[in-house]
Structures are given as C-alpha cells and as structure tokens.
C-alpha cells in the first residue's frame, strides 16, 4: 500500500509535519510494510514558511527588518533547495504586529518586506514564493519597492513617505536605482483574493476598515492608490490596477505584478504544485489529508479540499482526519472524514500538542487497520480462499 500524508496544520496545536508524522506512525503500526511519505501542507497564509521549510529540509533565516510602524521587528523566511526563498509578508508588515489602538493603515509600511527580499537576494535567491495575507498596510507596496531601490518622487524632488500618507503626492517614479538583480528573479505570489486596487471593491474600501481606517480615511487611501496607479501606468506603459488580486495586502499585489512581473496564483495550488507532483500521485493508493476544523469552509478552496481533488483525479482513496467535524456535507473528492477525538474532551485539552498527536496516531491506526482487513478480505475472495 502506497500512502501520501498531506495534512494541514492544526492551528495552535500541531504543525503540518507533526500531524503527518503522527498519522504515519499509526499507519505503520497497522500496516508495517506500507510505503508512507509525509508532505508539508500550507495554503500560502500563516504557517507557510514554517511548513515548507521544515517539511522540505530548508534553511530558516532570521533577521531584523523594519516593521509596519517603522520600528525594528524580527522576521524569518525559508530558503529551500535551488535557492528558492519562501516569505510571508506578514512577518514584516502583518496586522498582529500592530497593537489595536495604534492601527492606522495610512501610516503603515511594507518597507520590511523589501528588506527580506534584499536579504534573500544577497544569499543567492532568484526564485521567490511570497504569501501576502494578513497585512496591516495600504501603501500599494511602495514601501517594499522603496527598499528595493525604486524612488517615488514629489514635485520638489524629495521622496514620498514610505507609507500611504503621501501617495497622492507622487509626481514621477524613478526606476533607475532599482536593484538590478531583480531582473533575474521570478516571483510567485500566493494570493486568494481577486479584488482590484481601487474602487468600491478595492483594497481601501474592502480591507482598510479591518486595519483601523474610518470612512474618511478609506476615501483618502483610495484616492492615493488611484493616483499612484496612474503614475505607475505613465512610467511603465501598462496599467495593472484592475488585475485580479491587485488590491491584495493593501495593494501589495499591484506592486508585485506591476514592478516585479510577478504571477498572482492561488495559495493552495502554488504550494501543492511544489509538494505533490503528478508522478507521486500516480504512485499513491491512498491520500490522507485533514485540518483542525473540518467545516463548510473546507470546501471553499482550503488546502484539504485541493489535496482531495488532486487525489481523486489520480484515482486515490482519499481520507480526511480532523480535530472536529462540523458539517455533514459530502465532498465529491473525499471518501471518508474522521474526527480524531476519542471521547468527550474540552477544547483546551483537545488542542494540547501531545494529546492531539496521540489522537491522530490512534485514529489513523484504527482506520488503516480496517483498510488492511478489507484489502485482505478482497484478496481472499479473488483467490477463492
């Protein structure tokens, strides 16, 4: 029996790799001669760097960068084989880095994201995977671009502030100081929103209120981004303000597409393309996936859904293990869903790492014990014994 385990992290409880190793232990207890591989899973959001770097034996890099409020923060990113850098913008400009009472997207910057990219460039990276969820910013990525050498000049020749406050004062954009190494780079951006940069569905109107903006600020932010987009179009001779995902992360998606020729792709698909190739899926008989809470949202593009779909397309039996199962909806790609809880338990107890790993192991042992019995029974019938 060939088994691929690709379980998403159980947030606050188990990492993707911890959960996968627990499942593997249970499988091998029931079927010692099974061929089992564990693959890290993430959706491009929080935990992507940890999951991929740990699961693919990469190197974790820690460094001090400029945080969203301009103060230094410690950030980390991963370097995988072939010098592929995996970054999360939230490490340098995420909303959790800003106390609630200080949240003001007009004054937040993505400058630290650019510093992370520069550090990876210095280490030889030319291929980048960047998750851009969870931002505190609305600067259109001008902070990041400023760190990379792009200059957004005002009428008097000085540079605008490295946040959203002076986007409407951009007079011209100087591209000549941009880091020349960027021309050799490939950027793939994990982006699961399709909002344009400006307008009623844009970055400011939809996301800025979650970051501390009131109605007046939203209007100012949107006007600033529209002016920035116009000046960008004049400088680059193309206009990406309406590109799906341009409004992601306060316009950071727009900066990546316009200035760094990035591709915005589904976070789940981007990660799964890396960790689950067609050859391995053809090899597998069974796929085990799962996440902490299996509910109606699981079928809306989350990692287990994407894994299950790929497994079924390759003719695999697809099983899911979850901390809790709160929906009776049957996915067309899942053959069975199991809760790992062994009995009534409080949420706090269920989420303890040691207990969760043990429950994953026990449940997978039971499930694969049944599969072993069924397989042996099927073989016996074929043999006529």
pLDDT tens, position by position, 50-83? 878 887 889 999 999 999 999 999 999 999 989 9
Q: Say how far apart CA 37 and CA 16 lie, in whole Å.
A: 13
Neighbours of 25 (CB within 10 A): 17
What's the whole-number mean pLDDT along residues 97-103? 95
- Residue 77: both structure tokens together: 């990113």
Q: What is the pLDDT of residue 131?
A: 93
- Tell me the CA end-to-end span of the chain in Å, nearest whole number: 21
Q: Determine how β-strand 127-131 pairs with β-strand 84-88.
A: parallel
In this predicted model, what pLDDT tens digit does every residue of 121-150 receive, in sequence order?
Answer: 999 999 999 999 889 999 999 999 999 999
For the ranges 54-58, 240-244, 303-307, 368-372, the one whose mean pLDDT is highest: 240-244
Lowest mean pLDDT among 40-54, 166-180, 235-249: 40-54
Residue 14 has a pLDDT of 87
Question: Residue 250, SS3?
Answer: helix
Q: What is the largest CA-CA distance in the chain?
A: 91
State the Cα–Cα distance between residues 67 and 62, nearest whole angstrom.
Answer: 14
- Residue 122: Cβ-neighbour burial (10 angstroms; 0-12, 13-18, 19+): exposed
d(CA 278, CA 290): 20
From residue 361, give the alpha-carbon distance in Å to each of 23, 64, 304.
Answer: 5, 39, 19
């Amino acid at each position: 029996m060939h088994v691929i385990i690709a379980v998403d992290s159980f947030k606050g409880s188990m990492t993707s790799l911890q959960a996968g190793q627990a499942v593997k232990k249970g499988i091998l207890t029931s079927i010692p001669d099974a061929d089992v591989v564990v693959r890290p899973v993430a959706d491009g959001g929080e935990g992507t760097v940890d999951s991929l770097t740990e699961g693919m034996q990469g190197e974790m890099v820690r460094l001090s960068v400029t945080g969203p409020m301009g103060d230094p923060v410690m950030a980390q990113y991963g370097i995988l084989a072939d010098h592929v850098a995996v970054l999360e913008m939230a490490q340098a400009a995420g909303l959790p880095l800003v106390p609630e009472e200080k949240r003001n997207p007009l004054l937040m910057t993505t400058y630290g994201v650019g510093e992370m990219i520069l550090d990876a460039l210095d280490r030889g990276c030319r291929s980048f995977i960047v998750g851009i969820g969870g931002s505190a910013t609305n600067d259109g990525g001008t902070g990041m671009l400023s760190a990379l050498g792009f200059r957004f000049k005002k009428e008097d020749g000085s540079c605008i502030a490295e946040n959203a406050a002076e986007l409407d004062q951009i007079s011209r954009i100087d591209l000549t100081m941009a880091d020349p190494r960027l021309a050799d780079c490939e950027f793939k951006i994990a982006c699961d929103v399709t909002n344009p940069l400006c307008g009623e569905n844009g970055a400011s109107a939809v996301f800025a209120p979650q970051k501390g903006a009131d109605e007046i600020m939203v209007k100012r932010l949107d006007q600033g981004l529209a002016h920035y987009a116009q000046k960008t179009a004049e400088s680059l001779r193309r206009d990406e303000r309406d590109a799906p995902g341009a409004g992601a992360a306060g316009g950071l998606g727009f900066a990546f597409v316009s200035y760094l020729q990035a591709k915005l792709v589904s976070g789940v698909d981007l990660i799964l393309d890396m960790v689950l190739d067609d050859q391995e899926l053809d090899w597998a008989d069974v796929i085990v996936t799962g996440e902490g809470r299996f509910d109606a949202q699981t079928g809306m593009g989350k990692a287990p859904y994407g894994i299950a779909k790929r497994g079924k397309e390759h003719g695999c039996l697809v099983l899911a293990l979850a901390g809790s199962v709160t929906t009776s909806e049957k996915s067309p790609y899942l053959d069975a869903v199991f809760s790992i809880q062994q009995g009534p338990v409080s949420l706090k107890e269920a989420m303890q790492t040691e207990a969760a790993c043990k429950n994953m192991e026990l449940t997978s042992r039971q499930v694969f014990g049944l599969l072993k019995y069924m397989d042996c029974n099927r073989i016996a019938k074929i043999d006529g014994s």
